[in-house]
Amino acid sequence: MNKSELINFLSEKFKHLPSREIEKMFEKIISSFSDSLANGERIEIRNFGSFSIKNREKREARNPKSGAKIFVESKKSIHFRSSKIMKKILNEK
């Protein structure tokens, strides 16, 4: 499901709200998630999962084409861990 499909789904579910308002709320939620993660905060959504930032250390890697050694700088990445309930739902279907 992509962003437009999600907004259409929410518009169908909440017919009393204009789709423009649903889109604004969705943008605000995503923006607040992005800001929180950028500030190093953890996001937890009950019965769904949690998002956190993981630091990846500087490391040595290889160029797959030439086999030459390259150094990859340290960087941050987003880590998602699903909740036990979400895992159970996924494994039942």
> Does 21 lie in the same domain as 61?
no
25: left (phi over 0), alpha (psi -120 to 50) or beta: alpha
pLDDT tens for 43-83 read: 999 999 999 999 999 999 999 999 999 999 999 999 999 99
pTM: 0.74
Task: Give the CATH number for residue 66.
Answer: 4.10.520.10
Q: Which helix (H) or strand (E) holds 88?
A: helix 84-92
Task: Say which residue the tokens 């084409």 belong to.
Answer: 65
Q: Do residue 53 and residue 37 come from a single domain? A: no
Same domain, 33 and 51: no
Say if residues 51 and 79 touch (Cβ distance below 8 Å). Answer: yes
Q: With a cut of 90, say whether residue 93 has pLDDT above it.
A: no
Q: Is 47 left (phi over 0), alpha (psi -120 to 50) or beta?
A: left
DSSP letter for each residue of 23-50: HHHHHHHHHHHHHHHHTT--EEETTTEE
- Give the three-class secondary structure for 69: strand
